[in-house]
Structure 1
Amino acid sequence: MGYKVALVGATGNVGREMLSILDERKFPADEVVALASRRSMGVEVSFGDKTLKCKDLETYDFSDIDICLMSAGGAVSKEWSPKIGAAGAVVIDNSSTWRMDPDVPLVVPEVNAAAVDGFRKKMIIANPNCSTAQLVVALKPLHDKATIKRVVVATYQSVSGAGKDAMDELFAQTKAVYTNSEIVNNKFPKRIAFNAIPHIDVFMEDGYTKEEWKMMAETKKILDPKIKLSATAVRIPVFVSHSEAVNVEFEHPISADEARDILRNAPGCLVIDKREPGGYVTPYEAAGEDATYISRIREDATVENGLAFWCVSDNLRKGAALNAVQIAECLINRKLITAKKKAA
């Protein structure tokens, strides 16, 4: 018997990706319901070879839903996730709203799948920030081997992480450069075309941005509270896939060769690391792929037991939609939920 799945925010970038991944992975759903705001009611979205018409979130009855994938932003999740959970569905939320709630598991299945067991307190499981998800997939096997003390990471994040309007702005500005037209900034504080902006999310009192803080706090919650992490988050003019330059200091010795072998055998990781021109992965190549790609693995001689590497992943997939679907699969595989009833 299959499950009945609701997807809130079906018309957005991540919502559409979730539908695609549910179909690709043959998720055991008898029925998938696309939900959106009232203004998007009736909008059609693709689900495999089917077309789903979006229904109104405000009036939908969740009593027979088993799993709800929530990808409609923080404000919607704050209002609706507890209501949907109270109706008996497990909510897997892609926003930042519930990530640091001590009663809500924050899960990356390759890293801390067992944490899903804690979903019953609020019937909510949180998806991490996209830049955190790929980072911890790469760090986990190395931490198991040599125990991480400190991480310094600089991110190079695509505009799709800021939504469809951000992608449209990059396209419009790039076109404007070539046609010598006016460049307009709406989504970003400075021009994004042919530029790099060291600012994602709001600034905090200590000078870090909220995006950088998320990486610090979420890595501790998912992987190990003892890990120290400093991040610099940068937006670059790439449509899809986030890249990260990562420096790691370990408690115990670990060589680049050891790290390469460990990561080659680690779930969710793909090592492409030839020390020659083109022997690494770029954001363009990672787009549309599920793996977290790791390249440029080398020893960092500036610290004892140090490594540096380059890490790239599709932020709409592993950073959001794929991770959410994998969490749902974890619930099923661990027999933590059962379908309420057969779909009509």
Structure 2
Amino acid sequence: MKKSILIIGPFPDPLHGCSLANEVLKRGLLKREYAVEIIDMATSLSEDIGSFSFKKAAYALKNYLSIYKVFRADIIYLTPGQSFLGIVKYSLFILAARMLGKEIVFHVHGNYLWQEYEKSNGIKKKLIKFLIGSSSKGIVLSPSLEKNLSPFLPRSKIFSVFNFAENYLHAPSITKKFDRLRVVYLSNLMTEKGIFDLLEALRLLKSKGVYFEAKLAGGIDPNIADRVFENIQELGCNVRYLGLVKGIEKKELLTWGNVFVFPTYYRSEGQPIALLEAMTTGNSIITTKHAGIPDILCDQNAFFVDIKSPEQINETLQKFEHNRKEFILKSDFNLHEAAKYTEDHYVYSILEVVNAK
């Protein structure tokens, strides 16, 4: 008999890696005829990670009214945030599940939890350890991220499940054009995800007289929106901001591009779905060796730059004119490599964890 599963975590909107992953898991479980319920813990897009606001508190209190769903589920699957407050707001669900003897699966979508734990002290540290230690099993996005759960769970209870690119992006054949430099940035436009480093690199590229086209897409943190738009305006018609893109618009954007730039140093980054989407659509990639990125990318399919280094991004982009073949080889490698990062494999891997003895 299939177990009933309650997913507690963020769902779109806003759209980001964790909310998309929860949506894909929900769809996959329903497709396999599992009994699934959700409690949507999403909050607005902001760079103020782990910060308190009355709006967030009110939203959390509203979600607690759904605690009855814990009583009728066999498995409680959680994707909390990685700050102290991000964990504590799930505490009522964890305590209820623990008292009822439910199986708890704690899935960390990032690489900041271990840092949050190390910098905490006293009651905070004990509370984090108690809440996460109440889990039956834990999931991280790749082997190098196991340190996020090792203080709380035995090694035998920590599993790695790689992320995915949505099925519609896995086309049987994609024809890439390398006639000119086509730069794509597709993620939430946030400082720590390197958006200003990219914009500065494009400014340097333009000052060198290198022709390029760039398209940016994703939600913008309102705290930096004015600055982002000022930078885009200064770059002129070479750069376009497309807003939020989904479905066919996203696929067309990623297929149009040939170089995907994502110079992230985002503190909660784990294994960005954006990079898997770029791989799946045959883009060469410029990124950083941050968090779990080296677990999915290597020198064969990516150019690595230092964090906060628009100069290195600019230098790498300039190579396009002189060594286009290297970009094409990375594109071909990505098209082949991405075949293993599917929705089905993601859902199957999580079910393997859920059903593991």
TM-score above 0.5: no
Q: Using structure 2 for the length normalisation, give the TM-score.
A: 0.35
* TM-score normalised by L of structure 1: 0.36
Which structure shows the higher strand fraction?
Answer: 1
More helix by share: 2
